[in-house]
Amino acid sequence: MDVSVPENVMVTKLDSLASWCRKNSLWPMPFATACCGIELMATGASKHDVARFGAEVFRFSPRQCDLMIVAGRVVMKMLPVLQRIWLQMPEPKWCISMGACASTGGVFDTYSVVQGIDRFIPVDMYVPGCPPRPEQLIQAIIDLQDKIQREGTLMGKEFQTEARQRPKRALLDIVTPQSAPRPEPLPIIPNVGV
């Protein structure tokens, strides 16, 4: 059957449309604890201007945000605060772990620094560097946008998948014996852009 569509009408899936809306208006919650926070500020400032990617609305209230950027080391005393703020953010939400410290503990392999926040909260993107340059953070945001577009669904089904529930690799080394099988990487879902 032949259907003719007027020029400015296109057909897409609702999931793609929702993801497309979400990815272009990420509102970051800057969880800036240490030096990386300075680069986070620089990313928001005029020279690097993260507004070009629709992620400039830094809000300090977790209730208004959907992207948590953890910039800097998280220590024992801070971790419960971090978890609480994460729990306060409404769905759908994502998390970027910015810098070596937030991702792995970085140079601070000491008694008080948490060796990677992904042991305690789910993380979607890791940004290496100490500190990462603003360009790197912007790249992470772009990658996250791709990811949202790729697997996002209207009802947030992608968060329910089994792969997302598994603890991260870093945690497994601690909790289970070394010989336990590593988790498989996330399946790559073909790009279904708008």
Partner 1 sequence: MASGLLEPPASAIDQEYRWTLNFGPQHPATHTTLRILLQIEGERVLDARPDIGYLHSGFEKIGEHLNYNQYVTVTDRMNYISPLANNIAWHSAVENLLGIDVPLRCKYIRTILAELARISDHLLCNGACALDTGAFTAFLYAFNQREELYQIFETLCGARFTTSYTRVGGLMYDATPKFIEQVRQFVKNFPKVHADVCRLLNRNRIFVERTKGIGVLTKAEAISRCATGPVARASGVTRDLRKDSPYLAYGDFDFNVICSTDGDCFHRYLVRMDEMLESLRIIEQALENLPPGPVNVPMADRAILPDKSRVYNTIEGLITHFEVVMTNRGFQSPRDECYTAIEAPNGELGFYIVSDGSETAYRARCRPPSFIHFAMFSHLMKGHQVSDIVAVLGSLNVIAAELDR
Partner 2 sequence: MDANALKQALQQRFGELAWQYSESRRGERRLVIPAGQLLSYLEFLRSDCGFDALLDITCVDYLHYRGAKDRFGLVYLLGTSTSGERLVLRCYLNEPNLKIASAVPLWEGANWLEREVFDMFGIAFEGHPDLRRVLLPEEFAGFPLRKDYPLRGRGERHNFERISRNQS
* Footprint of partner 1 (CB under 8 A): 31, 33-35, 38-39, 42, 45-47, 60, 72-73, 75-78, 81, 85, 107-108, 110-113, 130-131, 133
Query: 116: alpha, beta or left, given left = phi > 0 and alpha = psi -120 to 50?
Result: left
In whole angstroms, what is the distance from residue 55 CA to residue 127 CA? 16
Contact 97, 121 (CB under 8 A): no
In whole angstroms, what is the distance from residue 80 CA to residue 82 CA? 5
99 binds, among ligand SF4, partner 1, partner 2, none (CB under 5 to 8 A by kind): ligand SF4
DSSP annotation of 28 reads: E
For partner 2, how many residues bind (rule: CB under 8 A)? 27
State the nearest-atom distance from the C-beta of 31 to partner 1, in Å: 7
Q: Closer CB to partner 1, residue 8 or residue 46?
A: 46
* Residue 128 CA from chain centroid, whole number: 13
- Residue count of the chain: 194
* Residue 66 CA from chain centroid, whole number: 9
* Residue 44 CA from chain centroid, whole number: 17
Q: Does 183 bind partner 2 (CB under 8 A)?
A: no
The pattern of x and - marking residues 78 through 117 that bind partner 2 according to CB under 8 A reads -xx--x--xx-----x---------------xxxxxxx--
DSSP calls for 138-177: HHHHHHHHHHHHHH--TT-GGGGSHHHHSPPHHHHHHHS-
21 binds, among partner 2, partner 1, ligand SF4, none (CB under 5 to 8 A by kind): none
State the nearest-atom distance from the C-beta of 6 to partner 2, in Å: 41
Among residues 58, 21, 19, which one has the least CA distance to residue 137? Answer: 58
Q: Does 169 bind partner 2 (CB under 8 A)?
A: no
Q: Closer CB to partner 2, residue 7 or residue 91?
A: 91
Q: Does 42 bind ligand SF4 (CB under 6 A)?
A: no
User: Of the ranges 12-20, 41-49, 94-102, 181-189, which one interacts with ligand SF4 (CB under 6 A)?
Assistant: 94-102
State the nearest-atom distance from the C-beta of 176 to partner 1, in Å: 27
Contact 80, 114 (CB under 8 A): no
Binding site for ligand SF4 (CB under 6 A): 34-36, 72-73, 99-101, 106, 130-131
